[in-house]
Amino acid sequence: MEESTRIPSITKQEEIVIQMCICPDCPSWVEAGERGGFCFETVPKSRYISEKKGCICRGCPVAKRVGFRDLYYCMKQLLSE
């Protein structure tokens, strides 16, 4: 398999998602040492975000690239609109 066609490991994918993440700019963000990337399946939902104060998920480069449409990936229950 050529290097350019290899799929990165889950760990590498998670790192890429966290680097692209805009969660810390969200009005619902709670500064508590979390890194964001909550939309990625291996990243647990936030333990600290509990109030919906606005959501920027649909403007996230990760969400746009993957085609996510829901909101509040940081919370245990997603909101679809």
Query: pLDDT band at 73, cuts 50/70/90?
Result: very high
In a domain, 74, yes or no: no
The total domain count for the chain is 1
In a domain, 75, yes or no: no
In a domain, 46, yes or no: yes
In a domain, 77, yes or no: no
Over residues 11-68, the pLDDT tens digits come to 999 999 999 999 999 999 999 999 999 999 999 999 999 999 999 999 999 999 989 8
Domain range enclosing 30: 9-66
In a domain, 1, yes or no: no
**Alpha carbon of 16 to those of 37, 50, 72: distances in Å?**
9, 25, 20
In a domain, 72, yes or no: no
Q: How far apart are CA 61 and CA 55, in angstroms?
A: 14
Query: pLDDT band at 6, cuts 50/70/90?
Result: confident
Higher pLDDT, 53 or 3: 53
* Most confident of the following: 10-14, 21-25, 68-72, 73-77: 21-25
In a domain, 4, yes or no: no
How many helical (H) and strand (E) elements, i.e. helices and strands, does the chain have? Answer: 2, 0
